[in-house]
Structure 1
Amino acid sequence: MVLVVVAAVGAAALREPAPTSFSASGAPRRMPEAGTFPNVGEQDFEGILVGLRGKPVVVNVWASWCAPCRTEMPLLQRAADTYGDRVVVLGVASKDDPAAAQGFLDDFGLTYPNVFDSTGRIRVALQVSAYPTTYVFDRRGALVSTVKGGVSEQRLAALIEGTLR
């Protein structure tokens, strides 16, 4: 009986709709420098997204304990390298230990910016229910796609290309 209830709750969580209307607001904030790993609150995160309007943005929410996140990091770096200044890739470490998250970043030598969500408010605002989760925003800052779980390199490229048209 307990297994049936757990399975039903798990299935319902997987069907939970991804946010379709997340919209950053507030004063624009500067993007963190690559190589830094600042602790950023929800308002600062939204301000970063507001400041990036005019460019498509890929936000990837990850954690060091997440095996699929480890698989995704190299493809996100390749996307950042491939699209250069035309697209912004921004990582958000959440539900993690700061030292473990920093070690994870160091292991991959990432050059795209990453921030740390110590309060969990970014995770809540984005309605993260799976790790990793990738959000793609268009040039206007509108959320156009959410991928729960790992994203393939081909799917990520197709989502990014869709925002560049």
Structure 2
Amino acid sequence: MTTPRTLAAGAAALACLMLAGCSETPPKIEPGTGLTLPTRAPQDRPVAPNLTAPDLMTGKTLKLNTYRGKVVVLNGWSFTCGPCRAETPALQRFQDKNAKNVQVIGLTQDDNQDTSRSFIREFKLTYPSFADRNGKQILRMPRGEFNPQFLPYTAFIDRKGRLAATVSGTITEGRLTAITQRLIKEKP
């Protein structure tokens, strides 16, 4: 039985759906995937915090703002995370192909540095990684970007040090390329 209340609720839901599809610019679609790219407009990007910690392999202090001028791909991982292990080879290949304009940085939440170092050796990672025990570093990112309790996650920081996009879950090399290419093309 259709009641006035049911009709009103249905009309409101329909209006919301119609308005949700309206925007000034259409969403960017990753070629060949149909996935919407999550990149923010430059004027809407918050400044990324200057995460600082020792590199797991060298012990040298790693500072995020050292990489200004490059697009930074900050990837959260754990030794025991299956999806993290699955995406790591793509991140290394991506770094190898794009080292001129992009810097991948790993951010592990593992408490055991020896375990983290064995992960780095296992995957022959050449990009730096640092420990983020208890998620303190990633919690300095603007609130609500992603949940650091769920791994993996990836943050894209533009050449001016602003948070341009975040992706929760496994990321592919194609998606890495699509997002970073847009950021590389922006004027520094």
- Aligned letter for 2:167? V
Count of aligned positions: 136
Aligned amino acid, residue 68 of structure 1: P
- 1:85 CA drift (Å): 2.3
- Aligned alpha-carbon RMSD (Å): 2.6
C-alpha contact 1:62 1:132 (8 A) present in aligned 2: yes
Aligned counterpart, 1:11: none
**Greater Cα shift, 119-128 or 107-116:** 119-128
d(CA) in 1 for partners of 2:182 and 2:150? Answer: 24
1:101-129 deviations in whole A, cap 9, x for unaligned? Answer: 11111111111111112353113223524
Cα distance between partner residues in 1 of 2:182 and 2:80: 31
Is the Cα contact below 8 Å between 1:55 and 1:88 reproduced in 2? Answer: yes
Aligned residue for 2:70, secondary structure, equals: coil
Whether 1:158 and 2:169 are equivalent positions in the alignment is no
Say if 1:62 and 1:131, in contact at 8 Å, map to a contact too.
Answer: yes
How far apart are 1:71 and its partner, in Å? 0.7
Match of 2:86 among 67, 71, 80: 71
8 Å CA contact retained: 2:79, 2:110: no
Q: What corresponds to 1:55 in structure 2?
A: 70
Counterpart in 2 of 1:106? 121
More helix by share: 1
Verify the 8 A CA contact 2:74 2:154 in the aligned structure 1. Answer: yes
Alignment partner of 1:143 out of 137, 149, 163: 163
- The share of aligned pairs that are identical, in percent, is 32
Q: 1:21 aligns with which of 12, 32, 46?
A: 46
SS at 1:156 equivalent? helix
Q: Deviations over 1:54-103 (max 9, x none)?
A: 11100001000100000111000011100012111100111442222111
Unaligned runs of 5+ residues in structure 2 are: 1-44, 142-146
1:37–1:115 Cα contact (<8 Å) kept:
no
Does the aligned pair in 2 maintain the 1:95–1:120 contact within 8 Å? no
Does the C-alpha gap of structure 1 residues 73 and 159 become closer, same or farther in structure 2, counting only changes over 3 Å?
same
Q: Partner of 1:123 in structure 2?
A: 138
Structure showing greater radius of gyration is 2
Q: Normalising to structure 1: TM-score of the pair?
A: 0.72
Gaps of 5+ in 1: 1-19
* Distance of 1:125 and 1:37 partners within structure 2: 24
Distance 1:50 1:125, change over 3 A: same
**Could you say if the C-alpha distance between residues 64 and 25 of structure 1 is closer, same or farther in structure 2, counting changes exceeding 3 Å?**
closer
| Conserved 8 A contact 1:56-1:136 | yes
Counterpart of 2:28 in structure 1 is: none
**Aligned twin of 1:8:** none
Structure 2 residue aligned with 1:15: none
